[in-house]
Structure 1
Amino acid sequence: KAGEGAGGENTERNLQSVILPVHNGERWLDQCLQSVLEQDFKGALELSVFNDATEIIEKWKVKLEAAGIPVIIGHNTSSQPGGVGYAKNQAVMQSSGAYLCFLDSDDVMMPQRVRLQHQAAIQHPNSIIGCRIRREPLESTERYTRWINNLSKPQLLTQAFTSHGPTVIMPTWFCSREWFYHVGKFDEGGKGVPEDLLFFYKHIEKGGDVFRVDQCLLLYRYHPQAATHSVLEETIWNHRVRFLEDRVLSCWTSFTIWNAGKQGKKLYRSLSPTNQKKVTAFCDVDEKKIAKGFYTYEESEEKPKPRIPVCHFREAAPPFVLCVKLDLTGGAFEANLAALSLKEGVDYYHFS
C-alpha cells in the first residue's frame, strides 16, 4: 500500500530515495555513484542499493554517508538471481523516501536531476517523470535517442505502442512512492521479462500520465551487456499487440493497417479474430502491392479465406494503425501522413 517501505507509515515526506539495482555493473559504478554524490538537491537524499558488487558499494557507502547521504544495501541471499524486477522492488521496499529516483549502475546523473524531477513530480503526482538523455557512445542508437528526446507532450502517451518501448526510458524514471505502490511493483518473472514495459503499461492502464523534464539529466550508456538485450523481440511484440488491442482497437469498429508489407501483415496475423474482422484494408505506397489488390490470409481456417483489400494511402479510410518506421524514409512517410491532416491519438496510432 502507499507509504510502505522501510519507513512504513512514517515515510519521510521530503526524503528522495535513489533506487539502484546492481548486477555486473562494476565497470561503471564509480561514475554512477559519483553522480549521486554530486546532486545539487538541497533536501534529504538516500541511496538504496540492491547489490552484488559489495566492495565498490562499501567503499562508496563511507564517502556518501560522510556527505550526509545514507546508504541502504540489500543482498539476494538465494543462490538464484532474482532478476531485475525483483532487485528494483527490493531496493524500493528497503528505502524510505516519499519519492523514488530510478538509476541504473551503468548510467550517470547530471547534478540537477533529483532537484528538477522532484519539482516536476510535485506538480504531476500521478505521473512517471522522465527527462532528456545523452547517449554514450554518441553515435549509438541515433534514431532511438532522437525519438526519446523529441516526443511532444501528447506523444508521450500516443506513442506508447511503438517498438521503442516506454516513451520515457526507465533509468530516467522518477515518481512518488505512493504512486509506485498504486501501480503495483515490477514483474519479478526474471530474465526475459520486459519488466519496465509491463510496469509502464500498468501505469497507463491505472490512469497514470507521463511527463518529461526537457533538459538532459542523464548520460545513458549503450553496451552489449545491458539487461535489455535479454528480452526476446517476440515477447515484446506480443505485449505490445495486447496493449494496442486493449487500449485502442477495443474502441474502434473498423480500421486500416498502413503497410501492406511484412510488418503490417504480421500485425494482422497477431490480432484476435474479433480485431482481424475490423481491418477494412491495408494501405501502402508500393505500386506492386497496390496492383495486386488484396492480401489473402492463408493461415486462416475460415472458408473462404479472408481477403483484405490493399489500396493507396490516399484512398484509405482512417483510423489507421501505422506499421511504418519513423525517421527512416528521409521524411517521405512523415510528409505523406502530414498531407492527410489527421490527428494523432484520434485518427491514427504508431505501431512501428
Structure 2
Amino acid sequence: KLVSERSGTSLFLMNILVSVIVPVHNSECWLDECLKSVWEQDFKQTMELSVFNDASKDSSAEIIAKWKMKLEDAGVPVIIGSNNSSQPRGVGFAKNQAVIQSSGAYLCFLDSDDVMMPQRVRLQYEAAIQHPNSIVGCQVRREPPMSTERYTRWINNLTEEQLLTQVFTSHGPTVIMPTWFCSREWFYHVGKFDEGGKGVPEDLLFFYKHIQKGGEVVRVNHCLLLYRYHPQAATHSVLEETIWNHRVRFLEDRVLSSWTSFTIWNAGKQGKKLYRSLSPANRKKVTAFCDVDEKKITRGFYTFEESEERPKPKIPICHFREATPPFIICVKLSATWPHLFLKCCSLMYGIGFVF
C-alpha cells in the first residue's frame, strides 16, 4: 500500500486475487454488519471490496465511506461506484457495475443485508481453483432462524448430484445467489446479469445460462453465510408466475427439445398447470398424465378446455405402472418420495425429471 503525500489517499499497487462484490440500495439497517464481515475474513491473499451504491436515499453512503477507511487501513482496497440518479437501476445492474469496476481474478458475491463467516472467502477460493467453470456456493444459516425453514433445509442438504438434477425445482438456483463465488473469466463467459430491474430474477436467469454453457455447480459444505430474511429483500419483488414461466422455458429448451414424447406424473393441479404452460408443440408430446390417486385415474382423461383446437385435446390419465417413460414429475418440494420414485424410474424405464 502506498500513501499519497498530497492527498493522504491510500493507493494500492497489487494484483488482486478476490473481489468481494456488494450491491447496495438503502441498506443502512444491515450494512455495518455486512462490511464488518468483509473486514473479519481470514483470507491471507489479496482481496478487495467493490461496492456499487444504487441510488440509496438513506445513510448507506456514509457507512460505506467509514468502512472504506477501516478496510484500507487493514490493506483491503475499496472501490466505490454509485448511481446518483433519483431512481435505482436494479440489482442486476448494480452487481454488473460492481464487477466491472473491480479487478480480482475471482468474484465473491455478497448481498448488503447478509453476513459472511470469517472463513468464507478462503474456503470458497480453495474450491473454485479446483472447479474453474463452476459457481461455488455454501451452506447458510437463516436469520430469523425459523424463516423459510423448508427452503433452507433444501438448499443446505442437496447432494452433489442433486445440485444439477434439481435445477428445475421451484425455488430457483440450487446454490443461492448470496453464496456465489466464481472466476471472473467464467462470469464473463456466461455473460453478466440481466439488467431488467425490479421484478426480474436476474440470479435465476444467470444460473440457467451458466448451466446451458456447461458450468458446474459446487457447494462448500460449511455454513459460511448468515442469510437474512426480511420484507425489503429484492426477491419479494419477483412474482411466482414470473419464476414459473422462466422455469418452464428452461425445461423446454434444456430437456423437452430433445424428447419426442413424455408423461407428466401428477394428474392434479401442478401437473395440469405444467401442461397448460407448455408451448403448443410440447403439449402435443404429452402422451398421458399418471398418478396413484384412484379418483383421478377413474376420470380417464383431462380435457384442455382453454385450447382453441376443435375438438379440444383430451389427455389420458393412467396409473403410473401403465405409463410410458420418460417422466416429468410435478411434486411439492417437501415430498421426498418423488426422488426415490425418480431413481426407480431411471433404473426400470429410463429418465425422469422432478419439476
The answer to whether the superposition gives a TM-score over 0.5 is yes
Change in 2 beyond 3 A, CA 1:333/1:350 = closer
Select the residue among 272, 279, 288 that pairs with 1:281.
288
CA contact (8 A) 2:109 2:181 kept: yes
Select the residue among 337, 342, 345 that pairs with 2:346.
342
Q: Which amino acid aligns with 2:353?
A: Y
Q: Which residue of 2 aligns with 1:90?
A: 97
1:155 aligned onto 2:162? yes
Q: Which residue of 2 aligns with 1:182?
A: 189
Select the residue among 101, 113, 118 that pairs with 1:106.
113
Q: Which residue of 1 aligns with 2:52?
A: 50
Deviates more, 1:85-94 or 1:156-165: 156-165
Q: Deviations over 1:115-134 (max 9, x none)?
A: 01111111111101101111
CA contact (8 A) 1:12 1:97 kept: no
Shift of 1:80: 2.3
Q: Which residue of 2 aligns with 1:69?
A: 76
Q: Which residue of 2 aligns with 1:203?
A: 210
Q: Distance in 2 between matches of 1:181 and 1:24?
A: 28
Q: Deviations over 1:76-111 (max 9, x none)?
A: 032221100000000001111000000001111111
Q: Distance in 1 between matches of 2:182 and 2:339?
A: 33
Q: Distance in 2 between matches of 1:286 and 1:112?
A: 49
Over 4 Å off, 4+ runs: 11-14, 331-338
Select the residue among 120, 132, 136 that pairs with 2:139.
132
* SS in structure 2 of the partner of residue 130 of structure 1: strand
CA contact (8 A) 2:117 2:226 kept: yes
Shift of 1:334: 5.0
Change in 2 beyond 3 A, CA 1:224/1:305 = same
CA contact (8 A) 1:21 1:88 kept: yes
CA contact (8 A) 1:130 1:168 kept: yes
1:238 aligned onto 2:245? yes
Q: Deviations over 1:301-328 (max 9, x none)?
A: 2222111111122322221111111324
Change in 2 beyond 3 A, CA 1:118/1:252 = same
Q: Distance in 2 between matches of 1:343 and 1:13?
A: 51
CA contact (8 A) 2:50 2:80 kept: yes
CA contact (8 A) 1:326 1:334 kept: no
Q: Distance in 1 between matches of 2:64 and 2:193?
A: 24
Q: Which amino acid aligns with 1:262?
A: K
Q: Deviations over 1:207-266 (max 9, x none)?
A: 111111111111111111100000111111111111000001111111111111111111
Gaps of 5+ in 1: 1-10
Select the residue among 27, 30, 48 that pairs with 2:29.
27
Q: Which residue of 2 aligns with 1:269?
A: 276
Select the residue among 290, 295, 309 that pairs with 2:297.
290
Q: Identity rate of aligned residues, in percent?
A: 78
Q: Distance in 1 between matches of 2:205 and 2:347?
A: 27
Q: Distance in 2 between matches of 1:287 and 1:46?
A: 61
Gaps of 5+ in 2: 1-12
Q: Distance in 2 between matches of 1:72 and 1:13?
A: 14
CA contact (8 A) 1:120 1:213 kept: yes
Shift of 1:203: 0.9
* SS in structure 2 of the partner of residue 97 of structure 1: coil
Q: Deviations over 1:195-215 (max 9, x none)?
A: 001111111111111111111
Q: Which residue of 1 aligns with 2:257?
A: 250
Shift of 1:114: 0.4
Q: CA RMSD of the aligned region, Å? A: 1.7
Shift of 1:336: 5.0
CA contact (8 A) 1:18 1:100 kept: yes
CA contact (8 A) 1:101 1:174 kept: yes
Shift of 1:343: 5.8
Q: Which amino acid aligns with 1:47?
A: L
TM-score by structure 1 length? 0.92
CA contact (8 A) 2:135 2:180 kept: yes
* SS in structure 2 of the partner of residue 111 of structure 1: coil
Q: Which residue of 1 aligns with 2:20?
A: 18
Q: Distance in 2 between matches of 1:164 and 1:322?
A: 16
Select the residue among 136, 160, 168 that pairs with 2:175.
168
Q: Number of matched residues?
A: 337
Q: Distance in 2 between matches of 1:295 and 1:289?
A: 9
